[in-house]
Chain A
């Protein structure tokens, strides 16, 4: 089995964001401002578990600027075998259409891939569509919102998953190769071991490969802004909430509850 995880570096979940002229910057007074996208840890964990069960290799790939290495480092520290950073100035400004093109070219270059796993979405762009689009470009089946892998049948080359959809839990099967995007309830990601972190530090400084658009033999018209079909000229912070919180009080819990219910009827939300 060759399993690929597509991961992304994102701002930390506690990052304080600032935006000026449509450009977003961030800092995190409490810790590292850049992290592996939290959803991707579930994808990495699932890939490692499948490898432990079926044997094979796990390769993690990440598209981003040259210094976007947190996701790859985390993946190696957790137990992935290989990591590739896909980075090229020509890829800047990519929307998901362009990103999926680049990722599909990288997966084709890896050559013998059976399964690609994504986290549900990245916590910056929040689109959740790159997994499906990458699979479509490869001509593979994509399963989104996967909450469990029921069976990976290596011999008969098929995968059976449970997806969490609005109506409940939907079980479905497709042939390999396939792509998945996974939810939080699929597993509990492991913490990297001390040994894993040391291995990752060494790997990042000496073994990490970087692929450019040229290495992927990518059509330059399909990457970056040239290959993108949407633009986001305006980004801004939500205006702060107007008005104070009205504190509702009462002599007893019952009196406070009655006063609050009065307010809610006045608001016509009941």
Chain B
């Protein structure tokens, strides 16, 4: 059995959380298949990342440290990944289902004529073959997927797999590789990033506090925002609140927004349309606060309070402030 690979996303020399999860999942697959774990680390001035990756479970690191890879661009990253995969023939390649991970694997799947399974929530080995589980139809259904031929490309949903266990005694080898594209061959020019400051990313958040139609207007999100800030949580919204123009689309949770899976999801003034539930139903604990005791959200929730969110949510904020 040839090895399992993980494409590791790093930012300023630190492994991204989703890549630690992918290394953990990759290590588990490699152990189940009795093979090694390879990691691909591309960027500039990233030598320190290789050791973190080995401590996270990799046996071999393919490191490409080059100025053309300093900022992420899918084209040179994917072309290099495809070239290395063509040479070393891994049986599977994992990445986070981030905007970058999706792009890299989509390009590489064409280069390698390989099967690509996005947004995996579970990976198992059955009769020596990898079986990937992923939600389809906005999470209303689950699909188990097998690949024909190798490599099988898999992107992993954020927070679906535990992070890799760190072992500072682990050793591995680092292989320096050359980039696959010259600067002049790359078609995309980056013109700058306007960074989102301070906000907790919805898809990475351990706790999310969301507001819906019941918040009544843009100012109605203030108590939601305060509770989120108190808990170090991300703020979310239902489509109704986004469509009403009360909060930007980036906050939308649900079928045509973001799919989230936090430890705790607090829904204030969200009735629970099927499209919203599809985006948050895998949350570990769901709390619903709604004045309508018949609201569908209570069918999915673990804990519910029937009442006015403008009284309950500030009271929750005050209680958490006392106890945290």
Contact = CB atoms under 8 A, between A and B. Distances in A.
Interface of A: 11, 13-14, 17, 19, 24, 38-39, 95-97, 100, 123-129, 132-133, 136-137, 141-142, 144-145, 160, 163-175, 183-185, 228-238, 241, 243, 245-249, 252-254, 256-258, 260-261, 263-265, 267, 269-270
Interface of B: 11, 74-75, 98-100, 102-103, 105-107, 109-111, 113-119, 135-149, 152, 187-196, 201, 203, 207, 231, 248-250, 252, 255-257, 263-264, 274-275, 281, 284-285, 287-288, 298-308, 311-312, 314-316, 318-320, 323-324
Contact of B303 (A38, A173, A248): A248
A249 B316 CA distance: 13
A237 B113 contact: no
Contacts of A127: 116, 118-119
Contacts of A136: 106-107, 110-111
A28 to B, nearest CB: 11
B113 A229 contact: yes
B21 to A, nearest CB: 14
Given A245-B301, A270-B320, 16 more contacts: A13-B255, A13-B256, A14-B275, A123-B255, A127-B119, A137-B110, A142-B74, A142-B107, A230-B147, A231-B146, A235-B136, A243-B302, A253-B311, A256-B307, A258-B319, A270-B231
A127 B298 CA distance: 30
Contacts of A249: 305
Contacts of A175: 187
Nearest to B301: A245
A165 B99 contact: yes
28 contacts: A13-B255, A17-B137, A123-B138, A127-B119, A129-B116, A132-B102, A164-B99, A165-B100, A166-B99, A168-B196, A171-B193, A171-B194, A174-B187, A185-B249, A229-B113, A229-B148, A230-B145, A230-B152, A236-B141, A247-B303, A247-B304, A253-B314, A253-B315, A256-B307, A257-B319, A267-B302, A270-B264, A270-B324
